[in-house]
Amino acid sequence: MKAMHRWMKAAFRKEGQKDLEMVEKAFAFVEWMVLLSTSGDNALQINVRHNLQPSYGLNTIATASLRAGSIAEASRALDLYEVYGFEPDVFTLTSRIDVAVRSGDVHDAIAQYESMRKSKTRPNIVTFTTILRGIASEKDIQPVECLRFLSEAREEGATDEHLYLEALEVCVKRQDATTFSAVMTEIQTHGVHAMETNKFAQLQEQARACFPDTVQLTKSASRCAGSEDGPSTKPQAKHSQRDLSDVSLIQLEMNRLIERLVKGSKVTTNDFETLIHQCRKRKRKEALRVIFDTMERLATEGYDLILSSEGTETTLPPQPHLLPTIETYIAMVDAYLELDGEELAWQAFLDVSNRAQLRRQQALYRRFIHGCYVSMQCKYIPELLQLIREEDNSAISLTHRMCVELARMHGHQHLQGMDIVLNGMPDSISHEQKQQYMEELVTSCAYKDNARGVAESIQALIDQGFQLSTKTEMAVIICCLQHQEIEGALETLRGFQDQGLVLDIPTYASLLREMYFKHTRRGKVFDETSRRLALRFLLNRTVLFDQVDEERDAIQSCLIESSETNQHDGVSSDPLCFWCQHHDLQCSPLLFLQHVMELTNIVQGKEAMLAAQDAIGEALESTPDPLLFVLRAITQLPSMDRNYRGQAVIAKRLFAALKLDHDQIEDHHFEFSFNSLEQLTVHLFKEVDDALHLHEQDETRVLAFCLDALETESIDKVLGYIMSKESLNTAETAEFLLPRLAQLYAVDGVVTVLQFFKPDSDHIIETRRSFLREVITLEQEIATDEEKSTLPLTRRAILDFKLEHEAEFMPFVMAPVARASFQREDEDTGVNENLSLPLDAGQVVIVDNDDAVRLAYDVLMQENLARVGIDAEWRPDSGRGYAPSKCSLLQIACDSHVFLFDLLAIPISDLEELFSHIWTSPVILKLGYALDGDIKRLQWTFPEETCFKRLENIQDLSDLASTTAPDKNLRGLSALAMGILGVPLDKRQQTSDWERRPLTPEQIAYAALDAFCLLLLHDSFQHYEVTVTLGNVPSSNPCGDAPRAGRGSVMTHR
């Protein structure tokens, strides 16, 4: 099943996209398994494999699809059970119930559950959990039904503390105090161990907030558990009542498997291993041995069983095929190690040698080492390594991954780790490999805050003839981050440098100062969150350590030379000057950049910034060729963790510090710049060109660079650069770029290309005509039969260029556009067609990581951005007496993209600059519908942020609704879309849970379209003159009645 797990994981992506090829691959594999299990594969000369269980494959597909929220694939997999004639088991029937719940039909889910209870397949705890979660979301079913399902779960022997907690959570979500009290009584009677969990304490607090009258009840319940405020701390017996309960539950599950054997159904060791995995997940350590002993008893002695359906006793003869296999032992070892049972895992590992028919395989060794690595338990590792050395089996070896995990698990016990790496590894491990494993040990010590381990491991590495490296240098910096203040971090760094365990260069102190400045939280606290962010920052600066490592010997020589001559004139202790004076090192410009970026981040205030700029300029003057050094530094900027705009800011400041005189520019500067074009982004190239005027030196090479950049970088930035240079913005340039621009527009749908042809110039009219001819040809080649009569992109370009009255293009404007202007989807319900998003999936970006943030900055901070559509989503409010929900998603649409900003995943500080730019720009038109509500909700969510306080240049389309839909019951964005575009919006996702992650594909499509349709509506107003009164949105609380911004629109037909 591993291949199917891998395919289904690849099929459903985080952004809600679906790889249908991978899905079909998984279904085809199941079909092939069916073929093998029934008749074999003659083409591949594979005989019938009766032991194959294709139904497991369908279960894998259904489970993966449900987790990704893809109901269609899950239903398809479950329907194939009947097609292939498989008998549905409890997992299959529970999956069907899950599909019904996720589809919103909880009544159907309960009906399927009732059918299951009437069949011979018994519901398990997952079945009841699924039903309870469905009740939490179905308002038509009263929460009191939870009591019924708890009772029936007890009858089936399918309860544990988690099920009772699910029932409590239903009551809290549905705000049913009466049922909450009843469930509490059930817990005190049947599920007292639920009170020992953290979740129970959390639900108590929520209950106190929702139902004040339940305070006494929850307190008394806590006392029953042993303490008024928390779970019992009394020591428990070796086998607690909870352990016995776990054993009883698993015994019921095994009895069901044995009943299947009695009735002639196929049961294999895989089924019992599945129970072992379930015990691992549900923390049922004591039940593991029961499963194993039952398998042995079934295989050697048989089993006496009372059939639950008939009440008669029957004896099952021995089942040799159920004897535990090596896979069973692997599952046992894996489960024990995860459940803190290292000694039991080791006993199971050794027990294999007592089985004549079994031998310890590579997989068992690998799983034991991996389990110890995950749980950081390494008591038996030396004995295991001794067994490997004694094992008379060439198939057993330490793989690279196993060696890495052996080193990493000893971060807290570095002496044992060093002994294993240096002395305990097989002779086949080379010196270079041991170097790598020692580096892993050093890094693990750093992550475990084991400063002594870092120091002693690095010293041992040196003593054994190994080399210091990128990893050892980074480990020292990681070790320094355990301090709460920068002074402690710098003192630790100095200690390592004094011992010669890390290079004594000023760059490392610069990194620490920058990290502590950026990530120290309010109250001057550098906590675990700060450390986590600093570690991510450090990993993004790995290039610094890599370049240092490449020139380690040369740098060491420079340090010795500086130390000897530091007291003499001409050698400065200033870190900026240090790298400038050693300009002959390849790494000098990059390390110089680190200090410049530190100053940029730390220095605040205009005067301090000017002083820093002067210091940079003074340092540059100490190089023989300051301009060349700056150019070398700028080519290194793309390797640093700055977005394109941030890189350009650094480049601009470097040129400003240089105080460049045009007479200082020589031919070798031009040649270096042109030879380095492949290393530059468009943003950096523009800064270099502004300083050196490269386009005046070699226009052909510049245009070739721009053409290549259109393939890989921001199209807006490339075109914006060309349009800003008068000597480049010519008919010849347009002719040169025209084929690529036409392809971007007609094939890739990049509508911002049209901006290049909008400025008036002498050549522009003819250039527009040439562009349109190229677009027409391309769009006709790729259009579907339905689209060929309309060519929507061609029509849009003609209207934008105001060429609709020319005879050559008039037929394309007059073509019917009813179905091509906007995509529609027929609904199964037979209601009106709905508007759908006319963008490719790649143009909808969920902003929940750094790469997406950078893309948003690049696209939305373009100088020629003229308009955006804005919308926001939040979880429906709980009602009167509860605080309003906070905004969880902000959508901003432009012509080329829709950005869905996940406000739960990205810190608002990372987006404040972008939002302030858009909100306050007088140039960018902000389109919205009932925008006041969205803005007030954002202000409520982020009361301390200033980026949402003021909004300029807005047009609220809700002001047009009274004109478009006079009937108040029809007003709304959907009604406006119906009135203007001829199709409504599908609003079914409007009241969904917008705090749930990941967002469903339906939520993503809904959110993107709500923002983008504002642009579609605005496009339709091109035939009208709209006068907009601009105003500012005042700061306000969403619970109050803030005045609307001063704005309005008057429409008159041309």
3-state secondary structure of 786: coil
Q: Write the single-letter amino acid at 60.
A: T
Least confident window among 494-498, 838-842, 963-967, 992-996 = 963-967
Task: Answer whether residue 76 shows pLDDT above 50.
Answer: yes
Local confidence band at 561 (pLDDT 50, 70, 90 cut-offs)? confident
Task: Answer whether residue 833 shows pLDDT above 50.
Answer: yes
**Per-residue model confidence (pLDDT) at position 12:** 67
Burial of 345 (0-12, 13-18, 19+ CB in 10 A): buried
- Which of 389-398, 523-532, 590-599 shows the highest mean pLDDT? 590-599
Least confident window among 148-152, 421-425, 686-690, 1017-1021 = 1017-1021
pLDDT digits (tens, 9 = 90+) for 805-823: 888 888 887 644 333 334 4
Least confident window among 346-360, 646-660, 966-980, 1012-1026 = 966-980
Task: Answer whether residue 1043 shows pLDDT above 70.
Answer: no
**Per-residue model confidence (pLDDT) at position 687:** 94
User: What ranges do the domains of the chain cover?
Assistant: 2-230, 552-661, 838-1053
The fraction of the chain above a pLDDT of 90, given in percent, is 39
Residue 960 DSSP label: G
Rounded Cα distance between 444 and 446, Å, is 5
Is residue 629 within 8 Å of 623, Cβ to Cβ?
Answer: yes
Rounded Cα distance between 654 and 206, Å, is 55
**Per-residue model confidence (pLDDT) at position 970:** 46
Task: Answer whether residue 760 shows pLDDT above 90.
Answer: no
pLDDT (mean) for 614-619: 92
3-state secondary structure of 41: strand
pLDDT (mean) for 697-708: 94
- The average confidence (pLDDT) of the chain is 83
**Per-residue model confidence (pLDDT) at position 817:** 36
Burial of 232 (0-12, 13-18, 19+ CB in 10 A): middle
Task: Answer whether residue 777 shows pLDDT above 70.
Answer: yes
Residue 593: phi and psi, rounded to 5, are -60, -40
Burial of 805 (0-12, 13-18, 19+ CB in 10 A): exposed
pLDDT (mean) for 101-124: 86
pLDDT (mean) for 497-512: 94
Domain 2-230 falls under CATH 1.25.40.10: yes
pLDDT (mean) for 381-400: 83
| Top-confidence residue, 1021 or 425 | 425
- Which of 488-497, 637-646, 733-742, 814-823 shows the highest mean pLDDT? 488-497
3-state secondary structure of 871: strand
Task: Answer whether residue 284 shows pLDDT above 50.
Answer: yes
Task: Answer whether residue 441 shows pLDDT above 90.
Answer: yes
pLDDT digits (tens, 9 = 90+) for 224-253: 444 444 444 333 334 444 444 667 778 888
CB-based burial, 21-58: b 16+ in 10 Å, e otherwise: ebbebbbebbebbbbbbeeeeeeeeeeeeeebbbbbbb
Task: Answer whether residue 830 shows pLDDT above 50.
Answer: no
**Per-residue model confidence (pLDDT) at position 94:** 86
pLDDT (mean) for 1009-1038: 60
Distance in Å from the first CA to the final CA of the chain: 66
**Per-residue model confidence (pLDDT) at position 283:** 85
- Cβ partners under 8 Å of residue 1044, min gap 6: 932
Task: Answer whether residue 326 shows pLDDT above 90.
Answer: yes
Rounded Cα distance between 141 and 108, Å, is 12
Tally the C-alpha atoms within 13 A of residue 119's C-alpha that lie toward its C-beta: 14
Burial of 811 (0-12, 13-18, 19+ CB in 10 A): exposed
**Per-residue model confidence (pLDDT) at position 248:** 74
Is residue 100 within 8 Å of 138, Cβ to Cβ?
Answer: no
**Per-residue model confidence (pLDDT) at position 1022:** 55
**Per-residue model confidence (pLDDT) at position 807:** 84
Rounded Cα distance between 935 and 947, Å, is 11
DSSP secondary structure string for all residues of 245-294:
HHHHHHHHHHHHHHHHHHTT----HHHHHHHHHHHHHTT-THHHHHHHHH
**Per-residue model confidence (pLDDT) at position 827:** 40
3-state secondary structure of 797: helix
- Cβ partners under 8 Å of residue 464, min gap 6: 422, 438
The fraction of the chain above a pLDDT of 70, given in percent, is 85
Local confidence band at 192 (pLDDT 50, 70, 90 cut-offs)? confident
**Per-residue model confidence (pLDDT) at position 3:** 67
Domain 838-1053 falls under CATH 3.30.470.10: no
| Top-confidence residue, 802 or 891 | 891
- Cβ partners under 8 Å of residue 413, min gap 6: 378
Task: Answer whether residue 682 shows pLDDT above 80.
Answer: yes
**Per-residue model confidence (pLDDT) at position 1027:** 34
**Per-residue model confidence (pLDDT) at position 820:** 34
